[in-house]
Structures are given as C-alpha cells and as structure tokens.
C-alpha cells in the first residue's frame, strides 16, 4: 500500500505524484514563467516576499540553513507565516546544516514550523558510516502550489562560508522563481523528502509494488499521459488563458536520486551537449564528470561549437580544484576554453546550450552530485530566458581569468600522476559509499 502522510490522500493523488516520477526522461510542460535570480541579493527578498504573501502552505527542502546575515530574513518570514496559521514544512540536510544551532530549530518549531532533518548527524565522525555520504543537496521551495524556487542557493548569506567565514565579495550563485504546471513535481519532491526524513518512508518506496498491480498500473498509465500534457485550452482552461499573456516557456523538473531517476540530470545534460550547434557554457564549482560528458564536450568543440567552462578560481576545497585541473589539458587539446572565476567563491550550477536550452539547479558535474547526492534541476527551453541567462553569464566570464594551455611535454608526467591520484581517490570514495558501476 502506498504510504499516505495524510488521511485524506486518495489513490488518485498518489498516482499523480508517481506519474512524472515513473519516467526516467524529463517531462516538459508549457505555460510556465521562469525568472532568473542572481545571488542571495535577489533570491532572499523574492523568497521572503512570497512567503509573506502565502495564504495556505510553504514547503522547503534545503541543504544548508544559517541564521546569519541575509538568510535570517527568510527564517523570520517562515516564522511569521507559521504564526498566522500557514502550513509550513521545512526539511534540511543533517550534514549541510550541522552548524546551525539547535536553538534555531527550536525557535522555528515554537513558531509552528513543522521541522524534519534528513539523516541527522549528531557528531562529525558520523561520516565514518559511509551510508551517511548520500546527502540531500536540493534547494527547493513551493508556496501555495503556485510559486516555486529551484536552484543552487542555500539559505546562507552570500558573504559567509561555513569553512572560510566572511568575505568582502558575494558568492556567485543562481536560482529561478517559477510559476506554472512544472511546480507540481517540485512540490511532490519536497513532500517526499519531508516525509522520508520525518517518517523514514515516502510514497515512492512502493513504486515497484504498484507496478505489479494491474489495476493500479492502468490508473498510473492514465496519469502518466496527463503528466505529458502540452497545455491546450481544453486541458488547462484558466491556466492556459493566463499563460497566453506570457511567453509559453517549456520547462521540466529533473531529479537525481537513488531510486528511479539516478541519471536523469546527467543524461539530460549529455543530450543537450550532443545536440549543441553553436555554443555551450557550463558554470560549476566542482567539475569531474564521467568520461561520456568529457568526450561529448571534446566532440562539440572539435565540430566548431564554442565550449566554455567557468570553474572556481578561489578554491573552497583544494581537492576539488585538483580534480578539475587534472582535466584541463585533455579538454583544451580539443578546443574547450576554461575560465576561473576570480572575485569570490563560485557556487552556481548552470548549463546553457545554444539559444533556447538551459538548466539551473543544485547538481554539480562531479561524482557526489552525479552518483550519490539527491539533486534537483530545472530545464528551461525558452529563447528569452536563455538570452537573459547568457547576458548574466557574459558578465561572470568577463570577471574571470582564462586558463591558457600548458606545455604538454613539460607537464605530461605530472598530469598523469595527478590524474591517476584523483581517479583512484574517486573510485575508492564511490566504492566505500556503496556506488556500483564505473565512473
């Protein structure tokens, strides 16, 4: 039987939740409105305002929560919402938010916020338990089932880092604010994370049992067809009329989890890279992708596509910098241009392809994001949005330093040594974490 977190959750509602999740490929819907938010300076006020205007519910799933600085305004908005009777649910990752004081959670609960911690860690050495290495790395919020926020921005001040403290320049990061039918899977995902953290189980656990029941499977197929809707007036009525006033953005919400959608984010990115004809811009702090992605980037550059990577110039973790840099020579040899962001820490996770495909979210291009962590991205197919994002990225690249191609003969043996070290370290890490297969 499907787990039901509330007594009034009927079978059809369970089917609706599972319909988009049962598919490994992205499900695109039209009629969405997506607004780009650059950094906490834009993100926190937009999120706080949305929460302050909530009339029914607020659901959040976050990796890091810190009460210091800018992010405190969002926490205050959550408490105000809960006190006026809004149904507020917050699930946070136990490792990412480990430094948040217990007093913060107690304050939120006293205000009426329903709290859940995903895989809590009471001691840092809890990481010796390798099952703890799979973390909830998502940054999601849905307000009143009508507004959603998806991206890479945690609830932490742009100028503050848990490891390095305060800095003068703000961290580079992106998120999007969303309206439209693509919100549905975002909401279902947050609810799944909250119920799993709170009860230890969620509705997705019973997907395999559902597949064995012919009657339930038939109903699920019906909802799968509904999930593939393309928004026409007959199907969506008022929603279609409202969407007609705006650009009909086609969007898909994609996950990386340890169940049905293990490689959805990666495969979506890989397909976009294969189909690129003019340009590919990738922004990510942690870059050590599978060989398939590296080969795709090399092939794209070789056929004349402008391929640019924007990576960290100011490193937060030295091993992450080493992992990325051992790949520089391989990619540059085929024409991939590599830049390192200089002003501050880089945390954005963005992929922009040609003139009408982009994704913004929480997933890096490294083993943790592609194999272990729970991640969430939004894919947007819309020329106006991609134009806006490209403009913002142009500014980011302009503030970066291009890494010139090294002398291959002088550094070949050192590069091989470093690559072998990183490769063996990644394999050992994944093996200890219980990840099977090649990377």
Active site residues: 137, 139, 144, 347, 349, 354
Closest CA to 300 of 265, 339, 351, 334: 334
3-class SS of residue 389:
helix
With the C-alpha atoms ordered 405, 407, 409, 413, is the resulting torsion angle positive or negative? negative
Residue written as tokens 């067809």?
Answer: 225
Closest CA to 220 of 38, 392, 13: 13
Give, rounded to a whole angstrom, the gap between the first and last alpha carbons of the chain: 36
What is the C-alpha to C-alpha distance for residues 229 and 30, in angstroms, rounded to an integer? 9
With vertex at residue 58, the alpha carbon angle to CA 53 and CA 59, rounded to the nearest 5 degrees, is: 155
Q: What is the DSSP letter of 130?
A: G
Query: Percent helix, strand and coil across the chain, each rounded to 5?
Result: 45, 25, 35
What is the C-alpha to C-alpha distance for residues 238 and 77, in angstroms, rounded to an integer? 30
With the C-alpha atoms ordered 229, 230, 236, 239, is the resulting torsion angle positive or negative? positive
DSSP H or E stretch at residue 360: strand 357-361
Structural contact between residues 158 and 40, judged by C-beta atoms closer than 8 angstroms:
yes
With the C-alpha atoms ordered 321, 327, 328, 331, is the resulting torsion angle positive or negative? negative
Structural contact between residues 92 and 118, judged by C-beta atoms closer than 8 angstroms:
yes
Instruction: Give the residues across from 179 on adjacent strands.
Output: 33
């Amino acid at each position: 039987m499907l787990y039901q977190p509330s007594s009034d959750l009927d079978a059809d509602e369970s089917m609706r939740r599972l319909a988009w999740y049962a598919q490994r490929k992205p499900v695109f819907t039209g009629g969405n409105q997506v607004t780009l938010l650059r950094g906490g300076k834009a993100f926190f006020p937009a999120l706080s305002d949305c929460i302050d205007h909530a009339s029914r519910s607020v659901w959040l799933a976050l990796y890091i929560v810190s009460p210091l600085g800018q992010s405190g305004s969002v926490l205050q908005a959550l408490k105000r919402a809960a006190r006026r009777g809004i149904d507020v649910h917050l699930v946070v990752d136990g490792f990412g938010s480990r430094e948040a004081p217990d007093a913060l959670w107690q304050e939120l609960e006293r205000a009426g916020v329903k709290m859940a911690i995903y895989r809590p860690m009471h001691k840092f050495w809890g990481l010796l338990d390798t099952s703890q290495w799979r973390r909830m790395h998502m940054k999601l919020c849905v307000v009143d089932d009508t507004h959603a926020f998806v991206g890479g921005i945690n609830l932490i001040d742009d100028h503050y880092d848990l490891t390095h403290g305060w800095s003068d320049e703000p961290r580079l990061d992106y998120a999007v604010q969303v309206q439209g039918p693509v919100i549905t899977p975002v909401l279902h995902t947050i609810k799944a994370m909250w119920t799993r953290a709170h009860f230890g189980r969620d509705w997705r656990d019973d997907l395999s049992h559902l597949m064995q029941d012919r009657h339930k499977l038939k109903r699920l197929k019906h909802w799968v067809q509904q999930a593939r809707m393309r928004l026409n007036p007959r199907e969506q009525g008022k929603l279609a009329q409202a969407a007609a006033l705006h650009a009909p953005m086609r969007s898909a919400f994609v996950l990386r989890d340890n169940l049905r959608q293990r490689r959805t984010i990666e495969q979506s990115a890989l397909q976009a890279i294969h189909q690129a004809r003019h340009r590919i811009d990738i922004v990510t702090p942690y870059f050590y992708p599978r060989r398939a992605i590296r080969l795709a980037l090399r092939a794209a550059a070789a056929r004349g596509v402008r391929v640019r990577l924007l990576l960290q110039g100011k490193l937060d973790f030295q091993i992450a910098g080493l992992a990325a840099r051992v790949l520089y020579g391989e990619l540059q040899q085929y024409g991939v241009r590599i830049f390192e962001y200089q002003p501050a820490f880089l945390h954005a996770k963005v992929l922009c392809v040609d003139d009408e495909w982009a994704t913004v979210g929480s997933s890096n291009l490294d083993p943790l994001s592609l194999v272990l962590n729970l991640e969430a991205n939004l894919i947007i197919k819309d020329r106006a949005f991609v134009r806006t994002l490209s403009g913002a990225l142009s500014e980011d690249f302009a503030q970066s330093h291009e890494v010139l191609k090294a002398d291959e003969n002088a550094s070949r043996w050192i590069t091989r040594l470093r690559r072998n070290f990183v490769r063996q370290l990644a394999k050992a890490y994944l093996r200890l974490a219980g990840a099977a297969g090649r990377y």
